[in-house]
Amino acid sequence: MTSVLPGRDARRESLLAAADAVVQRDGASASMATIAAEAGITKPILYRHFGDKSGLYAALAERHTDRLLDALVDALTAGGPARVRVHRTIGTYLAVIEAEPQVYRFLMQSEEAVPAQGTVRGFLHRLQDLLTAGIAHELRLPADDLRATVWAAGIVGMVQSAGDWWLESRRCSRADLTDQLTDLLWGAYGVAAG
């Protein structure tokens, strides 16, 4: 059994922090050479820690998606009525992508980050599973009822797509977008159309 030396973990985290800084500054144009320079090392050392560019990008994606999922779980489970939890969770997602738009664009839209998209898809599936379980529990649905799964996938897709639009257009405030998405999920469309 191989053990990882504590210093190696610290070095890896230091390199990920340097990569984070470059991605937050340069977005999709972040390069291995720039990341190595930011870390004060050569590219071969960077490759030694992550294997290749795809390994580094996958590690970055895991770091960010794990942190986002933790924030979303905290928002969902912090208590309160269901509408308050939905509003808080949507607001949390939008706050994270607003705080780090370059990282979000890098992970979700950059051709450079294609190797990391498996990690991003894994995050989206974990989030959908979490929402599916929450919806099924909240609505007391039987195990074979597909509504929770379909609704969870729809909610994740809707909020992600609306977040993409909002980051590019900024046609409303984050608070307004959070309110609008919450209203939509809570049936405002049916009320307005009916």
Q: What angle do CA 23, 123, 185 make, to 5 degrees?
A: 105
> How many angstroms separate the CA atoms of 92 and 80, rounded?
15
Task: Fill in the DSSP letter of residue 27.
Answer: G
Render each residue's pLDDT in the chain as its tens digit; 194 residues.
Answer: 444 445 668 888 999 999 999 988 987 778 889 999 999 999 999 999 888 888 888 888 888 899 999 999 999 999 999 899 999 999 999 999 999 998 888 887 766 666 677 888 899 999 999 999 989 988 898 888 899 999 999 999 999 999 999 999 999 999 999 999 999 999 865 565 55
Write down the residue that tokens 């980050």 correspond to. 113
Q: What is the dihedral of CA 136, 137, 141, 146, to 10 degrees?
A: 10
Would you state the pLDDT for residue 21? Answer: 93
Q: What sign does the CA torsion over 80, 84, 89, 94 have? A: negative
Would you state the pLDDT for residue 30? Answer: 82
Enumerate domains of the chain plus CATH numbers. Answer: 57-193 (1.10.357.10)
Would you state the pLDDT for residue 188? Answer: 62
